[in-house]
Structure 1
């Protein structure tokens, strides 16, 4: 486990790093983890189980090597619509130029475009907008014919083969979970992946369907809903309530809705996640210029800072770590920015339990709130949280207390789940089944790593299973959580 300096050097806001050609070597994974990466993302749209399994094995080996639980997020591709092959792989679309989207996968002229979504021509209507190349090129449907639609370029730009297509006002019939996604979800369950994200979520039933697939394969991995469709914005509360965590996927969302509205929706999504006590992840182009540069743009630094100030639980790096030239520097920079912003707001009291949705047992919720307030008012050096499922640790995380929280559990899967919880540092090898043993361990460990000294206070939160002995366990029947304030005895 890390020293006190290393623990204090990690941001409370968690960092998700996408693995790819630039970062899949075990030495690089270890370096990224030491630099601040807590969760590693596997993009299933860019590689199936055969390519991703070695990355899972490498992450697990690194986790053991550095003695830090690391999470793995499998990101399902979802019903992403892409262009087919474009003549010369690149084409300039001039304003007012006409292009035809045709059925099938073969075009007979340069201005005929194909796509991977077979029913596209049938489901488009006159007046619909077709957005290409992350919204940099836009076309309007002007005529619908038997086997094609005629469009006119409204915003000029360059398109390339296999780029994404966004259809902001079109209700598509494509299933949220394709056959390939289903297979990838089953692999993720078998591989013991810690989180599985669903792309292009439109309705809560789609979230529940993915959870059923994972459960049928014996996995309890939390489901992360990616908010990147207008339909998801319209049913936001329902989707967040059905999810275990949420990702604001700003790339596609910024095309599906008015880009000027994007910051407003980002804040609304994060605030809604707080009401439901669900982790919120901010993703896409956070440090985009670091694909090619060791230094980000000032606007990108401000973007990350605003995500932290908004209350994001985690920020995600995509191409910056997957294919960029400076993956390690990108994680280091993300960690530096988060630390700087957190330092500017440190010292605030824990966030009040302002009418949250009932995701925690009411007794647990009250105890967690009390523990956070006690730690703050008593100037405790640490909060130790023993959590079997991770729910109590998540409850503490959602308070945004700046008293360091150490999460312990008898379950390695629960510890890896904590890798996504804001401000919670998962710790292995702690006796999480006996309160007296846990107190002694917390005392010794905090002193050994330099986080506390004799006379300091530690707050310990745990469930009734921590009561020692049959008489105490009988007395603890019906008790959901215990809070103890311990004065460190030291050596």
Structure 2
């Protein structure tokens, strides 16, 4: 079994020396989160990665992670969300307001009424409780504070209302990036097979497409979605933010029990080895979970903060690869 490790690139892993060391440590693909990069920055990364492949003869694919219908904060000066304080969430089209959070998605404001009135930021690292709202502004109280920066994810818990589709930036990326075998695309916040079929039709059969399962409907409809995708990623961060942690665990467990039904590779993502973001070794719980993922039949995993901003991205890749030689357990879960 060739257990794959997708390593996200970022400030901590921006040099070709680090890329080489990560590949030698076990990384089998690199990922760029395009939501955190400008179009020019994406071009610059891709030029450097193409040159790296030729220079060292290391033919790792690169996954460009598209925003899809995922909501993200707009541009603002970073500030601290203080517990107990009120914060305003406003359309990004408004003039910048100090200590307000701009959201460049009109459907977010319409979706509030269908939600549990709780806002989760940056994979639930910060939590807000909505006090009042209309289609032009939301006022919320900070329940769990912390430092907040531009372009972080924003989720409404208990709701599934949003407008599906590629954003303008995603479409621009597809126009600028050539259709080459080593360039893969992951699409965030897929709702169902019908949406994925639209993307396949739009992007063509030649592009390698990954469907990110971050919504309940996507997890439950994963088998149908897989008919239009080359691979699936179970992304537990946004799934947990939208559904709550107990429901996320239940969905992930049920999904994992049926991995043998999929004819496409399935990866697990979301705090796989989160401890390595700030430390040099994983926790025992992470090691056990990693072992269980391999035995369950996952084809690989996706490292995010661990390699993008972590203290030691090379060690994160090495830790992720420690069980590479293991085979999935025999039985119904492997088909």
- TM-score (normalised: structure 2): 0.84
Query: SS in structure 1 opposite 2:218?
Result: helix
Q: Is the 8 A contact 2:259 2:298 kept in 1?
A: no
Alpha-carbon distance, 1:122 to partner: 3.3
- Paired position in structure 1 for 2:302: 316
1:45 aligns with one of 18, 35, 39: 35
- Paired position in structure 2 for 1:453: none
Alpha-carbon distance between aligned partners in 1 of 2:161 and 2:279, rounded to the nearest angstrom: 39
Larger Rg: 1
Structure with more relative contact order (C-alpha pairs < 8 Å, separation 6 or more) = 2
Alpha-carbon distance between aligned partners in 2 of 1:159 and 1:278, rounded to the nearest angstrom: 38
> Residues 107 and 60 from structure 1, CA distance in 2 versus in 1: closer, same or farther, beyond 3 angstroms?
closer
> Residues 99 and 240 from structure 1, CA distance in 2 versus in 1: closer, same or farther, beyond 3 angstroms?
same
Q: Is the 8 A contact 1:237 1:272 kept in 2?
A: no
1:301 aligns with one of 287, 291, 300: 287
Alpha-carbon distance between aligned partners in 1 of 2:260 and 2:12, rounded to the nearest angstrom: 34
Alpha-carbon distance, 1:314 to partner: 0.8
- Paired position in structure 2 for 1:75: 65
2:28 matches 1:33 = no
- Paired position in structure 1 for 2:229: 243
Greater shift, 37-46 or 11-20, is seen at 11-20
> Residues 65 and 145 from structure 1, CA distance in 2 versus in 1: closer, same or farther, beyond 3 angstroms?
closer
Alpha-carbon distance between aligned partners in 1 of 2:159 and 2:147, rounded to the nearest angstrom: 21
Alpha-carbon distance between aligned partners in 2 of 1:119 and 1:102, rounded to the nearest angstrom: 12
Alpha-carbon distance, 1:66 to partner: 5.5
Query: SS in structure 2 opposite 1:166?
Result: strand
Query: Unaligned 5+ residue runs, structure 2?
Result: none
1:163-219 C-alpha deviation (Å, 9 max, x unpaired): 32111333434333112112212334435444211001112222222222322xxx6
Alpha-carbon distance, 1:15 to partner: 0.9
> Where in structure 2 are the equivalents of 1:340-419 lying within 5 Å?
342=326
Query: Unaligned 5+ residue runs, structure 1?
Result: 1-10, 355-397, 400-491
Alpha-carbon distance, 1:231 to partner: 3.1
> Where in structure 2 are the equivalents of 1:165-314 lying within 5 Å?
165-215=154-204, 220-314=206-300
Query: SS in structure 1 opposite 2:82?
Result: strand
Alpha-carbon distance, 1:310 to partner: 2.0
> Where in structure 2 are the equivalents of 1:317-332 lying within 5 Å?
317-332=303-318
- Paired position in structure 2 for 1:122: 110
Q: Is the 8 A contact 1:197 1:224 kept in 2?
A: yes
> Residues 237 and 328 from structure 1, CA distance in 2 versus in 1: closer, same or farther, beyond 3 angstroms?
same
Instruction: Give aligned pairs, total.
Output: 332
Alpha-carbon distance between aligned partners in 1 of 2:168 and 2:267, rounded to the nearest angstrom: 26
Alpha-carbon distance between aligned partners in 1 of 2:175 and 2:78, rounded to the nearest angstrom: 38
Alpha-carbon distance, 1:145 to partner: 4.4
- TM-score (normalised: structure 1): 0.60
Alpha-carbon distance between aligned partners in 2 of 1:157 and 1:91, rounded to the nearest angstrom: 5
